[in-house]
Chain A
Amino acid sequence: MYTASDLRKGLKVQIDGQPWVITEFTFMKPGKGQAIYTCRLKNMITGSTMTKSYRSNEKFEPPALEERDLEYSYPEGDNYIFMDENYEQVMISAEVLGNSRFFLNEGVSCSVLFFNNQPIEVTLPTFIEKQIIYTEPGARGDTATNVLKPAKIVGDYEIQVPLFVNQGDIVKIDTRTGEYADRVLKA
C-alpha cells in the first residue's frame, strides 16, 4: 500500500483496476493548505494518459505486476507463442507486442510483464539480427551511410537501411526504435 507521499516519477499504481505508471510528478503545497500531489499517469495496458491530483491522505495499491523471462517459439495466427523455463506455453497477442512482433527470432529470450497474470508488455533484447528479404540494389560504389533506402524483413516489415545494404544481408535492428543499427553479415 502506498500513500500520496510515496508518489514519484516511475512509480506504478493501480487505479480503478488498471495499472498506471507516473510519468510526471509535482509536489505543491498552497499557503497553509495541504500537500497536493499532481501526477501525469500513463495506462500500462492502453497507453492512454491522464492528469490527477491527490491529497496526502489518499492511499494506493501497487498493481499486481510480475516480470518473467520467456523464450519465443513460433507464431500461431495473430498470436505468438512463448515458453517459460518449465516449457509452459504463454500466448501473447500481436496487439500487446506491437511492432516488436516483427523483431522476434525463434529462441530469443524476452522480458514479459504480467498484470493479473495477463501479459501486457514485452521487452526484447536491445538488438536483434534479421535478414533483408527485399531491397532495391544501391548504386555501385555508394558507401554513404547517411542516405537511406527502404528494405523489407520477414513479415514484410519495412525499415530504412543505408544504400550499401543488399538483399540477403543480415542486419542488426535496435528494438527500442525499430531502426537499422548495423550490418552483421554480407550476403
Chain B
Amino acid sequence: MSASCAMLGFRSRLLWAVRQFFQAEGYTEVETPVRLRTPAQEPHIEAEPSGSYWLRTSPEFHMKRILSAGLPKIFQLGPCFRRGERGHLHHPEYTMLEWYRTGTDYRGILDETRRLLSFAATQVLADSKEEHAERLLHALQADWAVLSVREEYTRRAGWDPFSSFDPDRFDLDMVNIIEPGLPRGKPAVLIDYPVQCAAFARIRQHGQSAERWELYIDGIEIANAYSELTDPAEMRRRLCENARKSRSAQQTVYPDDKNLLAAMDKGLPDCGGIALGFDRLAMVLARSNSLDEVMAFRE
C-alpha cells in the first residue's frame, strides 16, 4: 500500500466533510460517465485511451449538460485520468472534486471555496494537537491572499503577459518564478488570467482578462475556477482552436462533443465552476510531501 492506514482514515474523514458541506448547501451529488466518446479538447491535456473510448480528463462537459437540463447546484467526487502525468504532485489517475453553481461567477465560487475549506479543515484538523494543524486551520479561516496574475508577472517576472503573450515563457515563469514565490502558510489565489489562458472561462466584458482563478496552498496548486463560458459560438471557436493546437503538437484530436454544444445552444445558465484536486488537498491538510502518502495505491 502507498498511504498508511492512518492516512486513509484522514482521507475518509475529508471525503465525508466535503459531502456534508455540499449537502448543507443544497447541492446534488452527481455521477457522470468515466469512459467518454468525446473527452474535452484542451492543449497539454491528454486522455488515456480505453478501447474505442477515452477515460475522462475532467467531468466538466457532462456536468454542464446537467446544469443545462435544470439542476442549479451540482458536485461530483470521482476519478479523472491524464496521460503521462507523473511526479510528486501528479499521478495519471487521481480524484477530482468538481462543482458548479448557477447564478454566480468566479468570485462567488471563491467565497464558497473559502467556506468549504474552512469547514472541511475544521472537521479533519480541529482535534489535532499538532502545531501546523492549528496554524493551517487559522490561515484557511483568515483572509486569503488574492493576487492578480498581471501584477505578479509584472512585479516578479519582469514582463506583462497581457501586453504581449508568450505561452512558453508564461509556463516556464509560472513554474520557476511565480509559484515558488507565492505566500507560504496561507492560501493564495492567482486571479484574472490573460485571455490566451482562458481555457473554458468567460472573458470579462470590456476587459482583456479571463475570469479564472487558481488556488495555491504552500505554493501547491489545488484548484482552478471559472466564470463558465456559456456562449456556444465562442465555445465552438475555442474547441476548434484547441484542436488546431493539439494537432500541431502532434497530440490526439478528439471528436467534438456535439451533445455539450447542443445543450449550450439550448441554453447553459450563467454559472461558476471549479475543479479541485482532492488528493492534493488531502496532502496539504495532512502536511505530506508527496501524493504517494495520501493515495491508497499508486499504479
Expressed in whole angstroms, the Cα–Cα distance for A29 and B168 within the complex equals 12
A32 within 8 A of B: yes
Expressed in whole angstroms, the Cα–Cα distance for A5 and B87 within the complex equals 11
Given contacts A38-B176, A53-B176, contact A32 B42 (CB under 8 A): yes
Which residue on A lies nearest to B223, using beta carbons?
A: A31
Chain B 194-216 interface mask (CB, 8 Å, partner A; 1/0)? 00010100000000000000100
**Of A5, A32, A57, most B-chain CB atoms within 10 Å:** A32
Which residue on A lies nearest to B88, using beta carbons?
A: A26
Q: Which of A22-66 contact B (CB under 8 A)?
A: 26-36, 38, 53, 55-57
Q: Let me know if A31 and B214 touch, CB within 8 A.
A: yes
Q: Let me know if B224 and A28 touch, CB within 8 A.
A: no
Q: Let me know if A31 and B175 touch, CB within 8 A.
A: no
Expressed in whole angstroms, the Cα–Cα distance for A34 and B84 within the complex equals 12
Q: Let me know if B199 and A35 touch, CB within 8 A.
A: no
Contacts of B199 in A (CB 8 A): 32
B221 within 8 A of A: yes
Expressed in whole angstroms, the Cα–Cα distance for A29 and B280 within the complex equals 14
Chain B 170-194 interface mask (CB, 8 Å, partner A; 1/0)? 1110111001000000000000000
Q: Which of B96-145 contact A (CB under 8 A)?
A: none
Expressed in whole angstroms, the Cα–Cα distance for A169 and B88 within the complex equals 51
B262 within 8 A of A: no
Contacts of B214 in A (CB 8 A): 31
Please tell me which one of the listed residues B43, B84, B171 contacts residue A55 in the complex, with CB atoms under 8 A apart.
B171
Please tell me which one of the listed residues A26, A27, A34 contacts residue B171 in the complex, with CB atoms under 8 A apart.
A34
Given contacts A5-B84, A26-B87, A26-B88, contact A33 B224 (CB under 8 A): no
Q: Let me know if B176 and A30 touch, CB within 8 A.
A: no
Number of A residues near B (Cβ < 8 Å) is: 17
Expressed in whole angstroms, the Cα–Cα distance for A33 and B179 within the complex equals 13
B283 → A minimal CB distance (Å): 15
Q: Let me know if B170 and A33 touch, CB within 8 A.
A: yes
Expressed in whole angstroms, the Cα–Cα distance for A38 and B284 within the complex equals 22
Q: Let me know if A30 and B85 touch, CB within 8 A.
A: no
**Of A27, A28, A30, A33, most B-chain CB atoms within 10 Å:** A30
Given contacts A33-B170, A34-B44, A55-B168, contact A28 B86 (CB under 8 A): no
B6 within 8 A of A: no
Contacts of B224 in A (CB 8 A): 31-32
B150 within 8 A of A: no
B237 → A minimal CB distance (Å): 17
Expressed in whole angstroms, the Cα–Cα distance for A155 and B172 within the complex equals 51
B90 within 8 A of A: yes
Expressed in whole angstroms, the Cα–Cα distance for A17 and B111 within the complex equals 53
Q: Let me know if B90 and A29 touch, CB within 8 A.
A: yes
Given contacts A31-B221, A57-B249, contact A36 B171 (CB under 8 A): yes
Q: Let me know if A27 and B85 touch, CB within 8 A.
A: yes
Please tell me which one of the listed residues A31, A53, A57 contacts residue B172 in the complex, with CB atoms under 8 A apart.
A53
Expressed in whole angstroms, the Cα–Cα distance for A36 and B85 within the complex equals 11
A11 → B minimal CB distance (Å): 15
**Of B44, B86, B90, most A-chain CB atoms within 10 Å:** B44
B89 within 8 A of A: yes
Given contacts A33-B44, A35-B44, A55-B168, contact A28 B84 (CB under 8 A): no
Contacts of A53 in B (CB 8 A): 172, 175-176
Which residue on A lies nearest to B82, using beta carbons?
A: A29
Chain A 94-111 interface mask (CB, 8 Å, partner B; 1/0)? 000000000000000000
Q: Let me know if A30 and B175 touch, CB within 8 A.
A: yes
B-binding residues in A (CB < 8 A): 5, 26-36, 38, 53, 55-57
Which 4 A-B residue pairs are closest in the complex by CB-CB distance? A27-B87, A33-B171, A30-B174, A36-B175
Between-chain CB contacts (< 8 Å), 7 pairs = A29-B85, A33-B167, A33-B170, A33-B174, A34-B168, A35-B44, A36-B171
Beyond A34-B167, A34-B171, A36-B175: 11 further Cβ-contacts under 8 Å? A28-B87, A29-B85, A29-B87, A30-B174, A31-B224, A32-B43, A32-B224, A33-B174, A53-B172, A55-B172, A57-B249
